[in-house]
Every structure is written in structure tokens, then in C-alpha cells.
Amino acid sequence: MTGLFSPLTLRGATLRNRIAMAPMCQYSAGPDGLPTEWHRVHLGSRALGGVGLVISEATAVVPEGRISPRDTGLWSDAHVEAWRPVTAFVAEAGALPAVQLAHAGFKASTYWPWSPVAGGVPDDEGGWTPVGPGDEPFLPTFRTPKALDLAEIDRVVEAFAVAASRALAAGFRAVEVHAAHGYLLHEFLSPLTNHRTDGYGGDRAGRSRLALEVTRAVRAVVGDDVPVLVRISATDWVPDGWTPADSVALARELAAAGADLVDCSSGGAAPNVEVPAKPGYQVPLAAEVRRKTGVPTGAVGLITEPEHAAAIVADGEADLVLLGRELLRDPYWPRRAAAELGVALDAPAQYRRAW
């Protein structure tokens, strides 16, 4: 059986184990989306902690693609220079540095979670007009988006491709396309948010078109050796929304478009949804996609215990286990897990006396 601490090879990259740091927004970027020392310490600590793959937070491909004015980006050469110290440290610590490329769509230009104000950020406070498949806001308190026309959709695809090229220049060695959580690509996928009548709407094929075009464009830019992951919301948890069956069909198409692994999260297209959150609640989604398509998957969602994570991999439910909040609580979770599971895991020379 494959173990949690066995290597995972994706294209020309090999992860030292099957544990990944899930992308988590820090809302701590400097002016114009530049990463800061916070990001170097935050991401670097988890690499020192022993994860195999470190995925940066949602990193916008264009300024208007940020969730908030405090989000990171990768739309200029200045961003390349700012990310290089981060990726260098992560790689030196033994983890594979990856970037999640994102466009927030109609969820853009919002306040960060701990702001005393919620909802859309106005222009005079650094906000902007968001875009989406249509002109309906996510919530009444959010800004009203502009519906993308066909030429603007083409520019979105190009922005993802250019950002992927910059990611390689910045030292990232894998790229994840963010097509989940109610952000732009998911907005096009879900029938709850895509009411277009042109070639980017209608049936599942039309709604999937943008995500597939972005994946193909990213693959073409990064070449044959760089892993491309795609994060999807495998269900909207809403009747008449995106379903696990849709995700199975999409996963096959994503693999044909050049994706190496489908990172299965869920939800985000509709507000006030009842999600059956419990430890591992999204693992069956990753397992279904993997079982029915043969495409490698990542499982995420309240995975906290080493034995649980190990069982997910050993039982063939997913090829990669992504941890989020648990790694915020304990950057050294992989080293603790290895100790509990009886696995010898080398530590940096400076830390070996602790293990």
C-alpha cells in the first residue's frame, strides 16, 4: 500500500511525501499585491515542518482578480522578484513550492475577514468594479460585477497563462489553477451563477469551457515537466447546482487538457448553504473522482489526525492530503504525524535534537 510518507511524482517533480499545505489567504500583502516577509516565514515554516508541497494563497493573475486589496498577485515583474525569496526558502527546506493562480470574479474587491467593515470595498478605499459571468452580485453587500464579454474572457485566459510563466520565473515549481469556492472559474462552471446564453454558458460543456481553456493555456506555457493541479468545488451542496457527477466528467476533461491532479474541495457558489462539515467530509468527493476517472486527486477538509490522513492515502481515496487550518495550528504537523505513525523523518540539522 502507498503510505502517507511515500514520494509522489507528478511529471518532472517528486514530492517527498503526500502531505500538502492547502492554499490559505493571509490578507497580508504589501502595496499592489506584493508578498512580504510574512509570506516567507508563513510558507517557509510549513516547509521546515515537513510538508511535501507548499501551495501559496490564491494569487491573482490581474489586479481586479484579488479577493481583497490585501491579496497577493503575480501580474508584473515586480511580483516575480518579490516571490523569489519565498520560493527559494521553501525549496531549500525540502518542499516543492507551488502557486495557486486565481481570479476572484464577482467575489473580488471585498474587505478582509477581520476588517470592522464587511462587504464590497468602494473605490475611494482601494476597491474596484469586479467582473463575472453576469452582472449579479454574490451578496447584496458585495459590489455589482460587470459581465465579461468574449474579448475580456480571452484576456482572462491570457492572464492566467502569463502569470504561469511569471510563476516559473519566480521559482515556483508547480501551478494550481483555482476553479473552486465561487471564484471566477467556478462561477462559470456552476449553473447557480452562470446564466449566459453564449458559448460559455448553457450546458455543462459550455460552462466548463473557460476552466478548460485556462488549464490548456497554463499547460502550454509551463511545458511538459511542471505539474499542473486544478482545485475544484466538487459539489455546490445545492439542488440544481454543480454535482459530483459533473466533477467526474470535468476531471476527465481537465486531465486531457493537461492537469495532473484534481484538488477536490467544495461549495462557495451560493451563500447560506448547509455544508455537512465534519472530519474528512470532502474525502468521498476526491475518492469518487479518483475511482471513476483514474485521475490523481487531492483530499481536503478538516483532516487533523495522522491515522486518518494515512488511511486516506493507504485506502486509495486520494493521492495527496491537503491540510489547512491544522497547519495554521501546528506548522510541524508532518513531523508529529511521522512520530505517531512510527515513520523515520529526517529533520533540519538545527532541529534534530527535538525529534
Residues designated as active site: 183
CA–CA dist 167, 82 (Å, integer): 11
- What is the grid cell recorded at 355? 525529534
Q: Are 221 and 182 in contact (CB under 8 A)?
A: no
Give me the numbers of helices (H) and strands (E) for the chain, helices first please: 10, 12
Rounded Cα gap, residues 295 and 94, in angstroms = 26
Q: Check if the beta carbon of residue 235 is closer than 8 Å to that of residue 267.
A: yes
Tell me if 145 sits within 8 A of 106, measured CB to CB: yes
Closest CA to 72 of 95, 104, 48: 104
Closest CA relative to residue 302, chosen from 283, 330, 274:
283
Query: Which residues, in sequence order, are CB contacts of 32 under 8 Å at separation 6+?
Result: 63, 73, 76, 78
The x, y and z cell numbers of residue 14, run together, are 517528486
Integer Cα distance of 87 and 312 in angstroms: 28
| Core vs surface per residue 278-291: b (16+ CB within 10 A) or e | eebebbbbbbbbbe
Given the C-alpha cell 482572462, which residue does it identify? 156
- In sequence order, the 6+-apart residues with CB closer than 8 A to the CB of 191 are 207, 240, 241, 242
Opening angle at CA 52, ends 214 and 284, nearest 5: 65
Let me know: does 286 contact 264? Beta carbons within 8 Å.
yes
> Are residues 100 and 106 in contact, defined by beta-carbon separation less than 8 angstroms?
no
